[in-house]
Amino acid sequence: MAAVDLDALRVELVRDIVATDDLDVLKAVKRTFTRALAKAKESVVREEPVEYITKQEILDGIREGLTEYYRAKKAGIKLPTAEELFNEL
């Protein structure tokens, strides 16, 4: 949202609040606004940094897996199938 749109929305909201004579409506607006602010602050605090895996880490993992596979094949060791690995999860 552009800064102009944000300022216009603020002004419109303030005008509507100032023009309201109903005490119950003002109390409800205040409660709702307080909750919205708390929720916004909570979501900012809860955000944890996202960890990304690098391309090199992916390639290293593939290389390690293939090396293990070829060594086991050469030594005649039976490795678990993909289905067996999946069932372990």
Q: Read off the pLDDT of residues 18-61 as tens digits, 9 standing for 90 and up.
A: 998 888 888 898 999 989 888 887 766 666 777 888 999 999 99
SS3 annotation, the chain: CCHHHHHHHHHHHHHHHHHCCCHHHHHHHHHHHHHHHHHHHHHHHHCCCCCCCCHHHHHHHHHHHHHHHHHHHHHCCCCCCHHHHHHHC
The per-residue pLDDT for 84 is 84
Q: 31: domain range?
A: 3-46
Tell me how many domains the chain contains: 2
Note if the pTM is more than 0.75. Answer: no
- 13 and 39 share a domain? yes
- 9 and 42 share a domain? yes
- 9 and 28 share a domain? yes
- 63 and 35 share a domain? no
- 9 and 39 share a domain? yes
